Structure 1
Amino acid sequence: MVTGGAGFLGSHLCRAAVRAGADLVCVDDESSGDRANVADLADDPHFEFVAADVAVGLPERGSVDVVLHLASTASPVHYLQRPIATLRSGSLGTLHALELALTHSARFVLASTSEVYGDPLVHPQVESYWGNVNPIGARSCYDESKRFAEAAVMAFRREHAADAAIARIFNTYGPGMRTQDGRVVPAFIDQALRGAPLTVAGTGTQTRSLCYVSDTIDALLRLAASDTAGPVNIGNPHEVTVAELAERVRRAAGSESSIEHIPLPQDDPTRRCPDISEATRLLGWQPKVTLDDGLARTVAWFRGERQPATDSRSAASH
């Protein structure tokens, strides 16, 4: 079972799991995901879509071996608009997913986030770092919902010996992202393809580490198949400034867009880069797709989506 399976990461995960031979139930309420993202799986006998809100409850199934809990908006635009729903999916939704996994003695994997580190004072971020998070800031609805979710996983492990794990996912990008979701890669690509100025927050010296979606999915599946509890950082340790990223996107898109500096959002992290030693040691995992290669693939997908003949295609068809 994949909760949030019609979202960006979830749809890629569903597709990879079905192709690997899994019988899969995709659960999504389509508040931030879209059933069209998994439309290519609709006729597959090994795939089932269930419309449900994890904060309300999860469908009962005769047998569940693995629960991958991804149900949560990850877009700053969406969680700033729907902070209470974001808190509910991270708290009630996580408890419901853990209870279902416990009932079936299933492996449980939480898709947590690098946002639990906040604006980190330790660099690169290691799993033992507790973070530097503003618990009442605008972003706290997302950050704290994930921190609660991690606490819930560990409580179920301690009290019920649940087979549960935590993945801390750093910035992931690739085909299927929405242009207006507030994340830097789709925003820059959309602007570059339109010939609009690329809006760099602040001076652009803040850093991000960007992992191509296929690498992130590979790590999640490896974690699900392991007995590792985590937390485990999943991300690309190659650090790049936002200003450099803008230049690379312009180059990938063949764009002559200018650069425009805008104010920094509240609590925007100044540095973000994972230490992936644990993922390498425990899962035998390292990212394979370079930033330039991943940007080229993502730009090509966005460019295809802009063509009138392909506007009706779903994100999942690529």
Structure 2
Amino acid sequence: GRYLDVAEQAGFARDLCPYHTAMLGCIDAPERDAYVERLFTPPDLIIGSNMPCESESKSFLYAVQKYNVPHYFLDAPLDLGGFEPSQRVVDYYAAGLHGLLSFLGEHGLKGDEGKLSEVVARSRAMARLWADIDELRKLRPTPMRLADAVIAMYLPIYCAGHPDGLAALQTIHAEVEQRAAGGPGMGDDERFRLLLLGIPPYYNLGLLSYPEAKGGVFVKGEVEYVMTGQSDVNMLDPERPLQSLARKVITDLPAPTYAVRLEVLRRTIREFHIDGIVAARKRGCRNFPAGFRLVKDMAAGEFGVPTTVFDLDGLDLREYNDVQAKSNLDAFVEALASR
């Protein structure tokens, strides 16, 4: 909350996304924690985008003004084609990636096409590993619960293509396979398999394990589909790195329309055998909560699966009420038990 307070004192509204507001607070803070100092070394270049979060297209400009360094904006177009975007849309984003490479080259960071192809190949391998892990997680009981998955998912997102990221994900894959075969970590059968919509509470991931005392287990989270390459795990092509990267970005959530989001979650409910959905409404987010009603109606109408929606910010601890959050989960699991 400290860096959020700093940003708000600088004039940023509390209704903005706390991830971006916290970053702005870190930039403005007169004194920073040691770990923040490591993350916020004054930049020489700044790269902004509107993917996966639209508000980044504005928040990054504050950093540009603060540091007065060269910057580049990578614009992601709206994908109206769903899983099959038009070639024009793909070409547009690929041109932006070409422009980014040129921008980096102008400032002494010349790219290597051979290395780029290697990175894309490793990124594809990581997308496939994550898909394999997901297949194992569909088992009952699940060998990997959501509290672990929302940490592990950062490997295929933020470490995509990195050798260490691939090695770490291979280790996780092997462990999940071992659990799925009946090894350590497998618990009793779940009474109720739960799906989380929205952003999980990263300041208290233990909350995701709280319903287990009453038989409710979070087996999957919508956030795991964001930029993990799951729209098509074979899409990335080392022979056409920029074109395939462009296609991956604009077909992964949250880029496509809500019709695609509904189809992804429809498949999730069916394949993960979901019994109930918990939608965490993050006040500063416009993307995830805007679709909650659509998902709720689809889940109830097509599968008879109920949804509960309540306020739960993913980052702002000042908004968190532990008693209320647990009470909401208790009431929902009890309602599932009474059906």
Alignment TM-score, normalising by the size of structure 2: 0.29
Give 1 or 2: higher strand fraction.
1
Alignment TM-score, normalising by the size of structure 1: 0.30
- The structure with the largest alpha-carbon Rg is 2
